[in-house]
Amino acid sequence: MKLIARIKKGSLATFLTVSIVVSAIAPVYAANPVATTDFIGNNIVFKGNTKVSNEKLQSLLKIDNNKAPTTETLREGAQAIEKYYHDQGYILARVSNVSPGDHGTIFITVNEGKLEDIVVKGNKKVKTNVITREIKVKRGEPFDSNKARRSMEKLYNLGYFEDVKMKLNAGVEPNSVVLEIDVKEQKTGTYSLGGSYSESDGMGGYVELGDTDFLGTGDKAKIGWNFGGDSKIKGYNFSYTMPWMDSKETSLTFNWYNMTNRYSDYGYNGDYSTLRSTYYKNVRGFDITMGRAQGEYVHNYLTFKNRRDTYVDYYSGPVNYATTTDSNYTSYLDDNFGLTRSVALSRVYDSRDNVFSPTKGTYFSTTAEFAGRGLGGDFNFDKYTVEDRNYFKVGHSQVIATRFIGGYADGNMPVSQKFSAGGSDSLRGYHDEQFTGNRLLAATTEYRFPLAKKVEGVLFGDIGNAWDGGSCKLNDLKSDVGFGVRLNTPLGPIRLDYAWGEYGGRTSFSFGGKF
């Protein structure tokens, strides 16, 4: 047998080609008697099949029970068996022997093409076990090209590699192979710098450092500092994720933060021309999330959150919530500041081919969060969120991406826990969190196309709103249209958008990948 196989990357779509030269089937009499545990139907005995049932193989032969099978019938049946195996992804499988036995019995032996070993090359920082734990094909099992393709997607989704190549080499045993994985690492350390200047506050900014492959272990670590010319604006955050705590892909994430920033309250109608108040608030706390994989594409998560919001000081605006005597606002501080403790349950289905730049697949998540009651804290509420994203490749390298988000909440909720719309992650033609409420509807469509190497253009439209109680009429939904640029820089992905909304045009700039 001669075997040549490769797995290559092309826009992260993979293909695997195999050239197999198999000797012609020759009837050879079996030297050994049939084992009593072998399946016999129509005087046919199958051997070597572990991935396809005897009944299925029997149906592929298409042998007339009342006639003795001819050599041509057996040859066609063997070809049908091999084709079925190949269609299932077992591209190395072949019928290795057809042997007549006593009393008209025919023995058919299937060699499913075993994966003998996995060899990793090219990794310097990334530990080998971090790579091999993402590989879906297993040593000692028949080689499955579908699982090999999915393995390549998972390796790219780690974000550790600039290039991944897979090659099949002949193994020691007949029709066995060795999977060779050759990776080219890229930088996994990240850092972000941001700054701003105003006459009233002077210079301000933030610094964030992180590594998505901390010490080559596959763990993720990130720390950030926030500072401003205004001495009240300051803070820090730290997060650490262990994505593989055991063989069942149990993950653990810890996030700790203490931030003081300015917040602008536009009221419930979100009209930025009627800003009510701008004030300083401090947010500090932590959350812990444990996840567990369920099958290839589904993950379940359990999160405990402990957060305290504290009113710090008035900055500007018609209403000073700390001193107002207006009965409409005197309870604002009690209603919106205090301790929130909650538990959230999430289920995520993710079949995207590349989490950083998807061209096909679906991301669907549902989350239910329950706050207060036996957990303590100052607020009691239930909050439900659903999100659906879909990606469609059009043309050679263009992608249409869609996203829908819906939310419903009930109970005693502070404004910090309500749904919000507006800003770079939703309605880009409006201010950050311009609309808030215990109901949310939002949808986005983007047309993405390459402009140059590591530069992508985007045409988009957003629609949605967040509001309190009741139903939302179509004419209540806010909308915008715009265009943007995505840059892949040494500092990480950068997004720059310009959108036209109800109140005119607005530019948004942010770090981070696209949805």
Give residues with Cβ within 8 angstroms of 423, minimum separation 6. 430, 431, 432, 433, 434, 508
DSSP string, 250-303: EEEEEEEEEEEEEEEE--SS--GGG--EEEEEEEEEEEEEEEEEETTTEEEEEE
For range 451-463, the mean pLDDT: 95
Integer-rounded Cα radius of gyration of the chain: 30
d(CA 402, CA 387): 11
Residue 12 clears pLDDT 50, i.e. is over it? no
> Residue 455 in contact with residue 443, Cβ under 8 Å?
no
User: Do the strands 504-511 and 44-47 form a parallel or antiparallel pair, or are they unpaired?
Assistant: unpaired
What is the reported pLDDT for 373?
86
Percent over 70 (pLDDT), the chain: 88
Is the domain 1-186 a CATH 3.40.50.720 member?
no
Q: Which residue has the higher pLDDT, 404 or 425?
A: 404
Token pair, residue 5, equals 């196989």
What is the reported pLDDT for 201?
52
Question: Angle 434-283-404 (CA atoms, 0-180°, nearest 5)?
Answer: 40
What is the reported pLDDT for 203?
56
In tens, the pLDDT along 379-408 reads: 999 999 999 999 999 988 999 999 999 999
Residue 29 clears pLDDT 80, i.e. is over it? no
Domain boundaries for CATH 3.10.20.310 within the chain: 1-186
What average pLDDT is seen over the chain? 87
Question: What CA–CA distances, in Å, run from 386 to 186, 380, 434?
Answer: 34, 21, 21
What fold does the segment set 244-511 form as a domain? Answer: Porin (2.40.160)
Q: Which residue has the higher pLDDT, 40 or 385?
A: 385
**Other C-beta atoms within 10 Å of 457: how many?**
15
Query: What's this model's pTM, rounded to 2 decimal places?
Result: 0.85
Domain boundaries for CATH 2.40.160.50 within the chain: 244-511
Q: Which residue has the higher pLDDT, 77 or 104?
A: 77
Residue 38 clears pLDDT 90, i.e. is over it? no
